[in-house]
Amino acid sequence: MTRPEFSRPHRLTPERRHLELEATTGERAALAARFGIPAISALTAALDLAPEPGGVIRARGRLRAEVTQECVATLDPVDQVVDAPLDLRLLPPGTPPTDDDPDSPDEIESEGDVVDLGEAVAEQLALALDPFPRRPDASEPAPEPIPEGRPNPFAALARLKGG
């Protein structure tokens, strides 16, 4: 198994704790390549971990990143700031995810008693990226003119309906 680009293995323990994660230059470059974007110039996450019943650890915090994507209209670079909440449930070994509700916290399975918080943060960043980045100055494409003499597509429907 290959190691994720931004790997921060964390042992699950019942103690409350606060963690600060920051990706290195090389990790950010590797993540940008994985996500197919030009650059990630910053990536940090602050997480508060707290135990819940059943051996689950709840991780809440914030993800902050500075990314460069390509404009969907011009392919020019678009610099964006990602600032997104994080809410994860870290499951103990042998506990499969149970919740399919998209509004509930993401559930992360642990391997042994370890979960890779860096990979979890990377996945959350991928979900937070703008799927259609656009430069504010990108113009809308001009509509294509309708050729003269082209039949109205609704005329054929009218004929079928007897109209």
DSSP assignment of 44-81 equals: EEEEEEEE-GGG-EEEEEEEEEEEEEE-TTT--EEEEE
| Rounded CA separation 32/64 (Å) | 15
What are the residues whose beta carbons fall under 8 Å from the beta carbon of 107, sequence distance 6 or more?
88, 89, 91, 97, 98, 99
Q: What is the pTM of this model?
A: 0.80
25: helix, strand or coil: helix
Tell whether the model's pLDDT for residue 2 goes beyond 80.
Answer: no
In degrees and rounded to multiples of 5, residue 161 shows phi and psi of: -80, -5
| Rounded CA separation 40/43 (Å) | 7
| Rounded CA separation 126/121 (Å) | 9
**Mean pLDDT value of segment 56-77:** 94
Instruction: State what percent of residues in the chain have pLDDT above 90.
Output: 58
* pLDDT value at residue 133: 92
Tell whether the model's pLDDT for residue 120 goes beyond 70.
Answer: yes
* pLDDT value at residue 96: 78
pLDDT tens-digit map of 138-159: 776 666 666 676 767 777 777 7
**Mean pLDDT value of segment 98-117:** 84
Higher pLDDT pick, 29 / 14? 29
| Rounded CA separation 79/99 (Å) | 35
Higher pLDDT pick, 19 / 95? 19
Sorting pLDDT into bands at 50, 70 and 90, what band is 116? very high
Least confident range from 23-27, 63-67, 69-73, 97-101: namely: 97-101
Query: Could you tell me the sign of the dihedral formed by the alpha carbons of 112, 117, 122, 126, in that order?
Result: positive
